[in-house]
Amino acid sequence: MLFPDYRPRRLRQNAAFRRMVRETVLSADDLILPLFAIGGSNVQNPIPSMPGQYQLSVDNLVKTAKEAFDLGIPAVMLFGLPDKKDAFGTRAHARDGIVQKAVKAVKNKLPEMVVITDVCLCQYTDHGHCGIVTNGIIENDATLDLLAKIAISHAKAGADMVAPSDMMDGRITAIREALDESQLENTPIMSYAAKYCSAYYGPFREAAHSAPQFGDRRTYQMDPANSREAIREATMDVEEGADIIMVKPALPYLDILARLRDEIDLPLAAYNVSGEYAMIKAAEKMGWIDGRKVMMETLTSIKRAGADMILTYFAIEAAKVLKERTF
């Protein structure tokens, strides 16, 4: 079908035609808002490299969660900044830990909102690594018990879903078994399965005080050069009992997302990470791009590549645009 018989512009000539043939439609249902919980009350500390994002005390975090829920966003992902750190990240599984408190408060006020918790050690360890460190080595198997303990404590506090982001081998099996043994067999696991060792996490580490104090995360997070390995990681997590598979970051890894969409039949999540957010905000501030349009184009591209859900700091802003139907 060649020109002049086929004229692609025919179906682009007005807004109604364009709406009718649009293949990908972003909805607030697709969005998950990440939030940072910190102690105290009425705290709202701006995160300099993430304009519009804050470290929030539990009272304020609940307000932001409500704003998101009222805009049709079904879920939040909680990160915690603990009062103290130690070598084993003890505060990560404390009954009165910051995430545990935040979960309870959100579920109390918004029982229908899905509360997902990030399960990891890096915010809670004094060395900032996602696992136990012995003689400078990040230990795999010794970390698994701790991750399972954290997941259980989150679920017991009321978390609807747990999301391990540590990248230790075998963690899905460890967490699934531990949840099941605690009669938490209905708590799903969203696995950060293809999590790359990315410089795009920079602003997050400032926000969450989770930068490694020595070395880097290359011995556990994936090499950005690898694609086939993502299939192995994801397949392994599916077999170990993951319910949702995540790719992270999103934009520089859309090929991975598209590839996993073909290979894996579980729901896929993509994490539009802090550096992706910061770049758009910075260029917008410079007056170099239309931030609102780039935000919507970016989120649409992530969905088009295969994501069923998108974790994004833009969630509230994007949901407002969708509600106003101004996009």
Contact residues: ligand PBG, CB under 6 A:
118, 120, 122, 130, 165, 201, 204-205, 210, 217, 273-274
Q: Closer CB to Zn ion, residue 116 or residue 120?
A: 120
Q: For residues 236 and 230, is the Cβ–Cβ distance under 8 A? A: no
Rounded to a whole number of angstroms, the minimum distance from the CB of residue 20 to Zn ion is 44
- Measured from each CB, the residue nearest to ligand PBG is 204
- Pick the closer one to ligand PBG by CB: 100 or 210: 210
Partner interacting with residue 64 (select from Zn ion, ligand PBG, none; CB below 5-8 Å by kind):
none
Measured between its terminal Cα atoms, the distance across the chain in Å is 32
Min dist. Cβ of residue 3 to ligand PBG (A): 45
The tokens for 51 are 């304009």
C-alpha to C-alpha distance for 85 and 287, rounded to whole angstroms: 40
Q: Residue 182's CB: how many other CB atoms inside 10 A? A: 15
CB of 208 to Zn ion, least distance (A): 9
3-state secondary structure of 115: strand
Interacting partner of 201 out of Zn ion, ligand PBG, none (Cβ under 5 to 8 A depending on kind): ligand PBG
118 binds, among Zn ion, ligand PBG, none (CB under 5 to 8 A by kind): ligand PBG
**DSSP string of 214-235, one letter each residue:** SS-STTTSBPTT-SHHHHHHHH
- Name every residue whose Cβ is closer than 8 Å to that of residue 226 and which is 6 or more positions away in sequence: none
Distance (Å, rounded) from C-alpha 41 to C-alpha 249? 32
**How many other C-beta atoms lie within 10 A of the C-beta of residue 219?**
13
Q: Compute the least distance from the CB of residue 123 to ligand PBG, in Å.
A: 7
- Rounded CA gap, 41 and 61, in Å? 10
Peptide bond into 4 cis (omega under 30): yes
Cα 230 from chain centroid (whole Å): 17
Q: Which is nearer to ligand PBG, 150 or 273 (CB)?
A: 273
204 binds, among ligand PBG, Zn ion, none (CB under 5 to 8 A by kind): ligand PBG
Closest CA to 120 of 71, 164, 179, 73: 164
Nearer to Zn ion, 209 or 292 (CB): 209
Compute the least distance from the CB of residue 198 to ligand PBG, in Å. Answer: 8
Contact footprint for Zn ion (CB under 5 A): 120, 122, 130
Cβ nearer to ligand PBG, comparing 66 with 205? 205
312 interface partner picked from Zn ion, ligand PBG, none, CB below 5 to 8 A per type: none
Nearer to ligand PBG, 37 or 122 (CB): 122
Residue type, 36: F
Count helices and strands (H / E) in the chain.
Answer: 11, 12
For the record, the structure tokens of 242 come out as 């993951």
Partner interacting with residue 273 (select from Zn ion, ligand PBG, none; CB below 5-8 Å by kind)? ligand PBG
Residue 204 tokens read as 């997050």
Active centre residues (catalytic): 195, 248
As measured in angstroms, the least distance from the Cβ of 242 to ligand PBG is 16
